Amino acid sequence: MTASPDAPQRPRVKMKPKSNARAIRHGFPWVYANELVTDRRTRNLAPGTLAVLEDEAQRPLGLVSVNPESKIIARMLDRDPEAQIDQAWFAARLTRALEMRERLYDAPFYRLVHAESDGLPGVVIDRFGGTCVVQPNAAWAEAHLDMLAAALADVTGAEVILKNATGRTRGLEGLDDVNQTLLGEAPAAPVPVMMNGATYMADLTGGQKTGLFFDQRENHAFAARLTAPGAKVLDVFSHVGGFGLAMLAGGAGQAACVDGSAAALELAVQGAEAGGFKDKLTARQGDAFDVLAALGQEGETFDVVICDPPAFAPSKQALEAGLRAYERVAKLAAPLVKPGGYLGLCSCSHAADLSRFRNASARGIGKAGRRGALIHTGYAGPDHPQLPQLAESGYLKAVFFRLD
């Protein structure tokens, strides 16, 4: 494509000799700092600058955003090096993402944009009816946030758009942690969200991440299918009652939710009340490892136990310690499962792949003196699509065992 005569001349950045330009051509969306020629001109580019990426032979690979302050120094935005990143460009990406979600879900509660997998690198957007929560976790998205918000309102009809700046990767991009209301007025009360027959209360301004974890929807449904009428179930690291409320909706007679956050547990109680299960849910605040150990000492057992901890291995450097933590969770949780009962273990650590996480879980079960058969492996739902070239986009794993 030929640029118009009055189009601004974009800077050009070049990959080093013997760097993996082939991977970029085949769809890998990131260029690491050690793969790019970082001369003084490149180092002086403002974070979020748009540039044409070239291979070592100066052949264009596409349009990227550049952040010299990040280990991910360039992110692929468009294979067309002359693409114009304007409101129409954002609207096209958002429309494509919305079309699939509207086909999959009968209510507007889902992840609308899953970063690179939806063609918007570093951008996460969760939709809660007429409210959208945006996490602009890359410098280029922060720089174009007004344009993104305008396109989002136009495409979805959203009346409220919130910026959530709590994402861990924002710090790695040199960005602030200041939340902001971009459109309308932030909701003063938690927003009720119906999923799998349960009602979840999402705090969009003060809760974890964007307020609710849509990624576990399919795994919540599977756990509910394991729940016999009247069953006694345990949901550890429960947040706002994700698995516990789904299992109550599936027929459980009693659900215990364990979390370190009193605010999250209060939302779980509110969700149980909204769903008509108030008398069936108990909340126990405390360190999950301590509570698991205490329940074992108390001789408690459950028909289904689910543990959905935070990312114990958020990076390669934390992998070994993270795997030991996952093993410990399994070791403490397995004795709480009745013979013939079910144990579900989850990981949202992209550094711990499925094989390593599954093996750590199995080791923990074995060290607890239990034997289990793996009956199901779950992942994030289809509103969290995976980019095959980017392992980080498929971060969520859930393994379900039936224990002897």
SS3 call for 299: coil
- Please give the pLDDT value at position 18: 86
Residues 170 and 200 in one domain: no
- Please give the pLDDT value at position 276: 96
Q: Which residues contact 230 (CB under 8 A, 6 or more apart)?
A: 251, 252, 253
Residues 163 and 238 in one domain: no
Residues 223 and 143 in one domain: no
Residue 348 among the catalytic residues: yes
Residue 6 lies in a domain: no
- Please give the pLDDT value at position 9: 87
Boundary-marking domain end, from 78, 95, 114: 78
Residue 3 lies in a domain: no
Residue-wise DSSP of 33-96 = GGGB---HHHHTSPTTEEEEEE-TT--EEEEEEE-TTSSEEEEEEESSTT---SHHHHHHHHHH
Residues 162 and 263 in one domain: no
Residues 239 and 129 in one domain: no
- Please give the pLDDT value at position 5: 40
- Please give the pLDDT value at position 8: 60
Residue 7 lies in a domain: no
Residue 111: CB atoms within 10 Å: 26
Residue 196 lies in a domain: yes
Nearest CA to 23 among 391, 395, 396? 391
Residues 67 and 102 in one domain: no
Nearest CA to 255 among 197, 192, 306? 306
Give the CATH number for residue 122. Answer: 3.30.750.80
Residues 72 and 101 in one domain: no
Nearest CA to 286 among 311, 262, 307? 262
Q: Are 307 and 346 in contact (CB under 8 A)?
A: yes
- Please give the pLDDT value at position 274: 97
Give the CATH number for residue 282. Answer: 3.40.50.150
- Please give the pLDDT value at position 168: 84
Residues 225 and 275 in one domain: yes
Catalytic residue (choose from 257, 307, 346, 348): 348
Residues 207 and 163 in one domain: no
Total-model pTM? 0.94
Residues 322 and 218 in one domain: yes
DSSP secondary structure letter of residue 324: H
What is the DSSP pairing of strand 337-347 with strand 372-378? unpaired
Give the CATH number for residue 74. Answer: 2.30.130.10
Burial 318-330 (b: 16+ CB within 10 A, else e): bbeebbebbbbbb
Residue 298 lies in a domain: yes
Boundary-marking domain end, from 183, 212, 233: 183
Residue 391 lies in a domain: yes
Residue 4 lies in a domain: no
For the chain, residues with pLDDT lower than 50 are 1-7
Residues 243 and 319 in one domain: yes
- Please give the pLDDT value at position 20: 86
Nearest CA to 50 among 32, 35, 37, 62? 62
Residues 310 and 201 in one domain: yes
- The total of structural domains in the chain comes to 3
Residue 325 lies in a domain: yes
**Which domain covers residue 51, as residue numbers?**
12-78
